[in-house]
Amino acid sequence: MTTSDGTVQGRTQIHGTAARNRAFTVVLLGDGFTAAQQTAFNTACTGFVTALTTTAPYDRIGRAINIWRVNVTSTDAGADDPAAAGGTGATARTYFDSTFGGNGIRRLLLCNSSTVLQTAAAQVPEFTVALVVVNSTVYGGSGGSVGTYSLADGATEIALHELGHSAYGLADEYAYYAGGNETGHDTHPAGEPVEPNVTLKTDRSSLKWGWAVAPATALPTMSTPNCATVDARPSTVPAGTAGCFEGAHYYHCRAFRPEHNCKMRELGNPFCQVCRQVIQARTKVTKNICALTPNRDAVYRYDGSGTSWTRIGGPAGQLYAGGWGLVATNPSSG
Ligand SMILES: [Zn+2]
């Protein structure tokens, strides 16, 4: 229930070589893992790194991201799972006090976020975002000041979705709140959402993601036929087409999302191009200083502090750098 129900064991960097003072830094903290279950937490963290670094756009910008795990023991395994929200009624004494059933929704997995933020800052002061890995196979997660995810099937998909909320301010693109066709979620209230990946405005000239929409694509691109229910039809345009698709931000109508599907709508899908662009822009891929050795046998990148350089390639004839990255010529053929 509190920090008297466990101990912080320490931190370990598990991904990245970016300079610590410039990196985008993710900290994973365990909750509901007993002292004897720390290996399971370590394995879950490795799974997160693999998922992140193989998912666009992280597969291209992963070098700019450092990932740490913070091992924390809990007295009990698991998390609270209140019966009032449809759970088993289980309770668990854990360091960050994780519980399913937030707002009466079982899958909404919450924790003591101030304790999480304090612990992350004490262990990895430069952290950008903290994610709590909760030792339960009940499906759940949340994205707020800290993100949470459980070890249900597809756990890393939940993690990437919640990271989209907590680190990048992305909205949920799905068209319901508690699930399916509940009442009270027919039409989105007036007022443009602040998030970059949902909108009420489909005017081409002022559309948030107008840069992504081809002139020939109709706006709106798909409209919900019956606002009493979620539009479950397949896309009428090829996958990956950017436009305005009605049904987003917990409402069946009036709010629009940028593509028919996206990881912020449904797990197992790629991030849409608007979400990818936001992630890439906000990760702040750091600029590097690179150098070629005098005999042109190696290329080194400066690590950003002290006198440390890391070999990244070579041999090379010449180096050219631009907004698109670093290019080297073949030393013998140019
Ligand atoms: Zn999206």
Range of the domain at 221: 171-265
How far does the centroid of ligand 1 lie from the alpha carbon of residue 163, in Å?
A: 13
Give distance in angstroms: CA of 320 to centre of ligand 1.
34
Phi, psi of 194 (to 5 degrees): -75, -20
Q: What is the mean pLDDT of residues 72-85?
A: 98
**196-206 CB burial, b ≥16 within 10 A, e <16:** bbbbbebeeee
- Residue range 218-239: mean pLDDT, rounded: 96
Same domain, 201 and 303: no
Question: In this structure, what are the phi and psi dihedrals at residue 66, rounded to the nearest 5 degrees?
Answer: -105, 140
User: Is the domain of 40 the same as that of 136?
Assistant: yes
Answer yes or no: do 177 and 155 share one domain: no
Check the CA dihedral 193-195-200-202 and report its sign. Answer: positive
CA 266–ligand 1 middle distance (angstroms): 10
137 and 224 in a common domain: no
Contact at 8 Å (CB) between 78 and 136? yes
pLDDT of residue 324: 66
Q: Is the pLDDT of residue 289 over 90?
A: no
Q: With respect to residue 198, please indicate whether it lies within any of the assigned structural domains.
A: yes
On whether both 258 and 316 belong to a single domain, the answer is: no
How many A from CA of 267 to the centre of ligand 1?
A: 11
Are residues 141 and 26 part of one domain? yes
State in Å: Cα 55 to ligand 1 middle: 14
Averaged over 75-85, what is the pLDDT? 98
Calpha distance 319→321 (Å, rounded): 7
Please check whether residues 41 and 86 belong to one and the same domain: yes
Examine residue 283 and state whether it is found in any structural domain, yes or no.
no
Cis peptide before 238 (omega within 30 of 0): no
Q: Give me the phi and psi of 158, to 5 degrees please.
A: -60, -45
Mean pLDDT of the chain: 93
15 shares a domain with 156:
yes
**Into how many domains does the chain fold?**
3
Assess if residue 284 is contained within a domain. no
Q: Does 305 have pLDDT greater than 90?
A: no
- Ligand 1 centroid to residue 203 C-alpha, Å: 19
178: how many CB neighbours lie within 10 A of its CB? 14
Q: Does residue 275 belong to any structural domain of this protein?
A: no
Q: How far is the CA of 58 from the centre of ligand 1 (A)?
A: 14
Q: Does the pLDDT at position 258 exceed 80?
A: yes
Instruction: Taking residues 159-177, report their average pLDDT.
Output: 96
